[in-house]
Structure 1
Amino acid sequence: MVINEELLAARKKVAEKRPKFIRQESWRYDRLAENWRKPKGKDNKMRKQKSGMPAIVKVGYRGPRAARGLHPSGYTDNVVHNVAELARLDPKKDAARLGHTVGKRKRTEIIAKANELGIKVLNAGLLAPKKEQEKEKENKE
């Protein structure tokens, strides 16, 4: 289920027009990866934005403000470290992401409480309850 589809569509539309930012002279030297590094040289042509040079990262390429921080599912991403932090989330627009320092025991508690509250957990992994197993339990009862 995807929510905020219009915001995600607007973000995608802006992203399609955004150029692929590459490191200066990465096309020239094999040892330089294409991942972005800011050009800093005194006479650097890319920094001076001379024509024929690749585009540099600027604030104008940023996505729509309303769509920032949204997960591809459309929910807002919130890091959660304990069960109490789930209480401040709205199940209609917020999703929980478990912090990487949370251990397995507390993870299972958080996931169980999130399912109870109807909150989506983005990185539940193998600890997520299987829907088929839940249905079988209900059928047995």
Structure 2
Amino acid sequence: MVINGDLLDQRKKVSEHRPKFKRQESWRYKRLAENWRKPKGIDNKMRLQVSGVPALVKIGYGGPKAARGLHPSGYVDNLIHNVNELLKLNKDKDAARIAHTVGKKKRLEIILKAESIGIKVLNGKKPELKTSKAKVAESEQEQNK
């Protein structure tokens, strides 16, 4: 079951009619990537919005306001740094994304707490925690081979 499915459908419907914005003259030169850059030249046809030239990015092309910030799963994406921030989330609407600066120990705590509460973690792969005894035993096995 997808949460906020109607909002996701609205967002998809709008994005189907949105043009694919390209960087000016990226089709002409291999060295220019296609990703969007605002044209700034004084005689630039794209900046002047001459007909027959690709469209500029404008505010009117945006998606529905209610659907902004939604993950493709339909949950609202929230960045989490610790367990206290996790406790503030609503399990029916919100999903957690653990910040990349969080270490293994705290990451594991957050994932376990989220499972117990029932909150979806978007990047919640459990880290492998090896104790020092396990590391020593593993290195001894490698040396014996």
TM-score range, shorter chain: 0.7 to 0.9
Superposed, 1:3-14 pairs within 5 Å as 3-14=3-14
Q: Distance in 1 between matches of 2:87 and 2:75?
A: 16
Q: State the match for 1:131 in structure 2.
A: none
Q: Count matched residues.
A: 127
The one-letter code matched in structure 1 to 2:24 is Q
Q: State the match for 2:75 in structure 1.
A: 75
**Alignment TM-score, normalising by the size of structure 2:** 0.85
Deviating above 3 A after TM superposition, structure 1's stretches of 4 or more consecutive aligned residues are none
- Partner SS for 1:116: helix
Q: CA deviation at 1:79?
A: 0.5
Q: Distance in 1 between matches of 2:15 and 2:123?
A: 25
Aligned CA-pair RMSD = 0.9
Percent identity, aligned pairs only, is 71
**Alignment TM-score, normalising by the size of structure 1:** 0.87
Q: State the match for 2:15 in structure 1.
A: 15
Q: Distance in 1 between matches of 2:123 and 2:63?
A: 25
Structure 1 unmatched runs, 5+: 128-141
Which structure has the bigger radius of gyration? 2
Q: State the match for 2:100 in structure 1.
A: 100
Q: CA deviation at 1:87?
A: 1.2
Structure 2 unmatched runs, 5+: 128-145
Q: CA deviation at 1:126?
A: 4.1
- Partner SS for 2:114: helix
Q: State the match for 1:84 in structure 2.
A: 84
- Partner SS for 2:40: coil
Q: State the match for 1:29 in structure 2.
A: 29
